[in-house]
Structure 1
Amino acid sequence: MKRRLLIAASALLSALLLAGCGSAPRIEDYANQSPRLDLKTYLNGPLVAHGVFTDRSGSVKRRFTVQMQAHWMGDVGTLEEDFVYSDGSKERRVWTITQLGPQRYKGTAADVLGEARGEAAGNALRWSYTLKLPVDGSVYEVQFDDWFYLMDDKVLLNKATMSKFGFKLGEVTLAFVKP
């Protein structure tokens, strides 16, 4: 009986280890995808986004809408985001985004620890940063791994994984739309 239990536990552990060995997407994987995402073109003028935050189990915990205004002066862009959540609460974030070179970006915002880093290829952008997230009177530093995919000249989809100490806390899914 112990032997069967040990074999079953070993098989389960092996399966879990193999499941974790899948290759994660890389930005280069999207280099040949179109339409090509150009942040200076897409993030220019008014935008609106609709999104949800889901917990680890996939349950929707918050719904929200974001009204945005974006503009660029040379290689420096400003993205003003005004969030309205389904519970009526509001939040504002203003990003300063700098193009560092072809398809490479950095960004700052008041509630972002240090700098966000981004890289684009084809129709995709990967954006990584640490956000100072207020929850019930405390502030937690959580990591965001954002992936953006340009669908056409009007729609940009975003899926962000939120984690702490390497453990997934949930996901944010957004659909950006240009009027």
Structure 2
Amino acid sequence: MSKKMDRRSALVRLGTLPVLAAAPFLASCAGPQVQGYAQEKPALDLRTYFTGTIDAWGVFTDRSGQVVKRFTVVMDCSWNGDEGVLDEAFVYSDGTRQRRIWRLKAGPNGTYTGRADDVVGEATGQVSGNAFRWGYTLALPVDGRTWHVDFDDWMYLMDDRVMLNKATMSKWGVKLGEVTLSFTRRTPVLAKPV
């Protein structure tokens, strides 16, 4: 097997994938657009949902659909006006741990931007109806090199406690795999944050 194939295999089997995982958010790309969910209920208010403690359970599947990694996440989330912090603590099925701290900013018309230490540039997203589309490029270490992997992340609010999440990973336009997650708030939402 060539070195190139070894690297590709290692990239596909990485266990350091994020919860809020997704390809750069491109409004002009083919496929579903977040605005198509504008009438769906319950309406998602990102700042209200991502407040307090949230538990998540997820799997990473490779291109063939095989589960490569399972993981859990505990998220501590808070907002101060339009600025939020999502502190994610991951535990993977192989025992490895990871932490990512997102710093989000709410913009006009349901738009959001975000940064984290291992995110290349700025993540962008938008809420519409019960859906949130979030895209960014993650810098992943593989075989002593850093690969920039694109994520196209969709979240769907089911009720005041549960949100489902599906993210597609790609590199150079080639799909590497998917991340599927279920988020559950520990307490129901009682009021919107200040």
Scaled by the length of structure 2, the TM-score of the pair is: 0.79
Which letter does structure 2 place at the counterpart of 1:167?
V
Deviation of the 1:102 alpha carbon: 2.5
Distance in structure 1 (CA, Å) of the matches to 2:100 and 2:58: 15
Aligned counterpart in structure 2 of residue 118 of structure 1, from 117, 120, 125: 125
Partner residue, 1:109: 116
Partner residue, 1:75: 82
Q: Give 1 or 2: higher strand fraction.
A: 1
In the TM superposition, structure 1's runs of 4+ consecutive aligned residues that sit over 3 Å from their partners are none
Partner residue, 1:10: none
Deviation of the 1:139 alpha carbon: 1.8
Determine whether 1:165 maps to 2:169.
no
Distance in structure 1 (CA, Å) of the matches to 2:143 and 2:131: 34
Deviation of the 1:101 alpha carbon: 1.2
Give me the identity figure in percent: 57
Distance in structure 2 (CA, Å) of the matches to 1:122 and 1:135: 37
Q: Which runs of 5+ in 1 are unaligned?
A: 1-22
CA RMSD of aligned residues (A): 0.8
Aligned residue pair count: 157
Aligned counterpart in structure 1 of residue 33 of structure 2, from 26, 32, 39: 26
Deviation of the 1:138 alpha carbon: 2.7
Q: Which runs of 5+ in 2 are unaligned?
A: 1-29, 187-194
SS at match of 1:24: coil
Aligned counterpart in structure 1 of residue 58 of structure 2, from 51, 60, 67: 51
Distance in structure 2 (CA, Å) of the matches to 1:116 and 1:176: 20
Per-residue CA deviations over 1:85-138 (Å, capped at 9, x if unaligned) read 000000000000000112100000000000000011000000000001123433
Determine whether 1:139 maps to 2:146.
yes
